[in-house]
A and B are shown apart, each in its own frame.
Chain A
Amino acid sequence: MATSPPIETVTTDVLIIGAGAAGLRTSIELAEKGIDCLVLGKRDHGDAHTIWAAGGINASLGSLDPEDRWEIHAADTFNEGHLVNDATAVELLCQRAPERIRELDAWGIDFNRTDDGTINQRYFGAQSFRRTCFVGDRTGKALMETLVQKAMTLNVPYRQNLYITDLVVDDGRATGAVGFDMETGRPVAFDADAVVIAAGGHTSLFRRSSSRPDENTGDAQALAFRAGVSLRDMEFVQFHPTGKVHPEEEAGHLVTEAVRGEGGRLYNAEGERFMERYSPNQMELDARDVVARAIEQEVREGRGTENDAVLLDISHRDDAYIHERLPRMVEEFAEQGVDITKEPMEVAPTAHYAMGGIEVNFETGQTAVDGLYAVGECTTGVHGANRLGGNSLVETIVFGQITGQHIAETLSTRPHTPLSEAQVREYVAAQDHLAASEGTHTPEEIMTHLRNLMWDHAGILRNEDSLLTGLHQLQQLQEAARDLDVQADRTTLRYENAQNVRSMLITAETILRGALERTESRGAHARTDYPDKDPAWKQNIRCVPTGNGGMDVAIHAVDAPSAPVQRAIDEEHELDYHHLE
């Protein structure tokens, strides 16, 4: 194997790993306060997983339901999260959401409007009021575009097609990162005073996932973990009830919740509207975990379609209404010859969102490592045991702003620690070593096995046997990964996959260990051997790194919600589905 090209060194004050909504909003805050930063993305600029978010973004604006307020938004978030959320995170999220949404409006996002000209809001699962702002069914794309354009006005610099392999931590302080340029293959070292991880979730660890297969590989979590930061709540993985079933390459891609928000009905293969049995009041708009488990149950009991799926039908609505509210769904299904204004869509659950992730202090965005921050899906705490639809986009902009502001206010007090050349050389040598690796197992083979084992043993329904089997198989894969066959340079997909495998194996282990530890069912974590929620388990599970990839499992106490939010919880607000009929 030829020696690698010379290392390029880049210096910036704040390095932001991830160019989706969370990373961009952080960069905008920094740039507005005159701080130098650099945004890194794995793909072309403007193309991040954010653009897949369809249905909307929550804020208690009360455009249509004036009785809504931030405390009720918080209560809904806690209820959906089964009270293991981080109380500070939830309250900041819900208090700050309205101002962030109006700021987006001032920056030009084209939210759909009410007849009065205010921002329109739709129903979304498990929310007491119409609270979800939307741009048709392409809200994430519109959010991304607005942030890219705002960043452009501030001349925020970015690098695209850049893969980060390691963080550089010196004496407990983050001093930069090492990666490579995916187009030229050149290794790159970044020297920075603060590093922000804003690199998304891990749901492509599962066989059927709404994520693109080469993204959300858990690299954000693994980067932090290897740098010494604990991961928390990893057992909570949201399975979205409605993923596509075919064509095969699109299996798992999302059918937006907005279809149900606009009145879509679920039927089993026998034509029965089965949610009447599982949730007679909230019906199809009950929490995502409830609907996903109901579908799984219908399929396991033999009432699914031949593709182990159920039917989602919106055809009772007017054609024009469906075209106005769900244009992308109409278009995507039309490509497959399905006219959703006339016939149902075939859907099944799909891994969709990581509630768990990197532990941070939400008032600052700071992790346990000095100078290392994290924002967005890669963190844990906002969503508890399950996420309310429409809360993920708003999380990115609320905590991007908070983190950016905190860094801007404190950066000048941080003495500069130069990037350790020895560490840079060590990480680049490891990159070279991986590229040259000649062995038995391809990265693709390991990824496929891993995705199957996570789906089969740590999926929608779990138990001790399945999780122990999963852990055992994972250990075998970790062993196999020591004998990896790569022999490809840094510009190849094979090499990217080899790097992904490194992260995926770590992040998968934290999910399995967390799920095995939690001997109850709560939110998205459903144990068939412990089907009930156990009040004693109202706490968080942390995976604490012990060095060299090892981990300990520890318990973390949960703070109680503040008095006004507790009052809102006690008031028991609830969506009455039959408003929609």
Chain B
Amino acid sequence: MTLNVEIKRYNPEKDDAPHWESYEVPADPLDSALALLLHVKWHIDGTLSLRKSCAHGVCGSDAMQINGENKLACSVLVQDLVDNDGATVKFAPLPAAPVIKDLVIDQSRFFEKYREVKPWLINDNPAPEKERKQSPAEHEIIEEATKCIMCGACTHACPSTWASPDYLGPAAMLKAYRYTFDTRDDGEGERLDTVDSENGLWKCYTIFNCNEACPKDIDITRWLSALKRRSAVTA
């Protein structure tokens, strides 16, 4: 089949504003959406910029808006987007982030927020001679949250992020959940200070856009709700 691929292009050195460009791309229903973009880059217009790396849903670098929804380009198949010859597939950068060029967004604010929640194990007690014990049941509490690949699809799908650029957003707060609920962690106090704030948990209105966007099917809203309960109890 041949598809009409539309890409939101923007080169700050040349363009005043982003604009759409169309490309005719041969495709197979089992191709990934990323393959469409690579076809454009390799065979039609080498100046197209996009982030991509593992092409396998592991590295999280190619999250973008595809036909209006935030997805990992490598993890969605053409057949899940369109089914007829000549159909249109639209690619735009993740919304609510500054665009560097074409599909590449500036992620620095996103990673600053990640850093703000102290995404590491905090425990000042001397480590025991062997590992800190954790039962499989205790591990299971955080297991789903550890599958996050920090692609940013959720945070940039969240209306609270669109409205308040300083909102920590679901990705950072999911990390806060992952460490706060890790039984080996002792940093609840310092971490909750950050998330239990004006730009933290309470701007989550359980709209569920994050859950829908997550390419790893993480039930983010559920874990943020658990974090809200913990905050309420601790406060």
B130 within 8 A of A: yes
In chain B between 50 and 94, which residues have their CB closer than 8 angstroms to a CB of chain A? 51, 53-59, 61, 75, 77
Tell me how far the C-beta of B83 lies from the nearest C-beta in chain A, rounded to whole angstroms.
16
Q: Is the CB of A47 within 8 A of B134?
A: no
Contacts of A46 in B (CB 8 A): 59, 150
Alpha-carbon distance between A112 and B182 when the two chains are bound, in angstroms: 13
Interface check B139, CB cutoff 8 A: yes
Give B127's nearest chain A residue, CB to CB.
A106
Partner of A118, one of B56, B119, B130, B184: B130
B164 CB to nearest chain A CB (Å): 25
**B167 on interface, CB distance cutoff 8 Å:** no
Q: In residues 89-122 of chain B, which contact A (Cβ within 8 Å)?
A: 115, 119-121
What's the Cα separation between A101 and B130 when bound, in Å? 10
Name the one of A135, A335, A492 contacting B46, with C-beta atoms under 8 angstroms: A492
The reply to whether A110 and B120 form a contact with Cβ atoms under 8 Å apart is no
Chain A residues 76-125 with CB under 8 Å of chain B are 101-102, 105-108, 110-119
Segment 138-182 of A: residues with Cβ below 8 Å from B: 138, 141-142, 149-150, 152-153
Interchain CA distance A247-B56 in the complex, whole Å:
12
**In the assembled complex, A44 has its CB within 8 A of some CB on chain B:** yes
Q: Does A267 contact B (CB under 8 A)?
A: no
A residues near B56, Cβ cutoff 8 Å? 253, 332
User: What chain B residues lie within 8 Å of A101 (beta carbons)?
Assistant: 131
Taking a contact as CB atoms under 8 Å apart, the answer to whether A47 and B53 are in contact is: yes
Q: Among B132, B143, B149, which residue has its beta carbon within 8 angstroms of that of A105? A: B132
On whether A335 and B77 interact (CB within 8 A), knowing A47-B61, A108-B184, A141-B58, the answer reads yes
Residues 183-222 (chain B) with a chain A CB within 8 angstroms: 184-185
B133→A47 contact, CB < 8 A? no
Q: Cα distance A105–B63 when bound, in Å? A: 30
Contact A117 B59 (CB under 8 A): no
User: How far is it, in angstroms, between the C-alpha of A561 and the C-alpha of B77 when the chains are bound?
Assistant: 53
Partner among A47, A52, A247 whose Cβ is within 8 Å of the Cβ of B30: A247
Contacting residue for A106 out of B30, B58, B77, B132, CB 8 A: B132
Partner of A152 from the list B30, B120, B138 (CB cut-off 8 Å) is B120
CB-CB under 8 A from A332, the residues of chain B are: 56
Closest chain A CB from B73 CB (angstroms): 14
Decide if A212 is an interface residue (CB 8 Å cutoff).
yes
A48 vs B53: C-alpha distance when bound (angstroms): 9
B115 to chain A: which residues have CB within 8 Å?
152
Q: Is the CB of B51 within 8 A of A44?
A: yes
Interface contact A149-B119, CB-CB below 8 Å: yes
Residues in B whose Cβ lies below 8 Å from that of A533? none
Contact across chains for A149 and B120 when beta carbons are under 8 A apart:
yes
The answer on a CB contact under 8 Å between A51 and B182 is no
**Do A107 and B120 have beta carbons less than 8 Å apart?**
yes
Q: How far is the CA of A119 from the CA of B130 in the complex (A)?
A: 10
Shortest distance between the CB of B208 and any CB in chain A (Å)? 22
Contact of B53 among A44, A105, A492 (CB under 8 A): A44
**Interfacial chain B residues near A116, Cβ < 8 Å:** 133
Q: How far is the CA of A153 from the CA of B120 in the complex (A)?
A: 8
Tell whether, in the assembled complex, residue B135 and residue A115 are in contact, meaning their CB atoms are under 8 Å apart. Answer: yes
A43 at the interface (CB under 8 A from B): yes
Q: Which of A51, A108, A247, A253 contacts B120 (CB 8 A)?
A: A108
Query: Contacts of A149 on B, CB cut-off 8 Å?
Result: 119-120
Picked from A113, A249, A336, the residue with its CB within 8 Å of the CB of B135 is: A113
From known contacts A113-B135, A113-B136, A118-B131, infer whether A107 and B121 are also in contact, taking CB-CB under 8 Å. yes
Query: Of all chain B residues, which has the CB nearest A488?
Result: B46
Nearest 9 A/B pairs, CB to CB? A108-B121, A117-B133, A105-B131, A149-B120, A47-B59, A106-B127, A117-B135, A47-B53, A113-B136
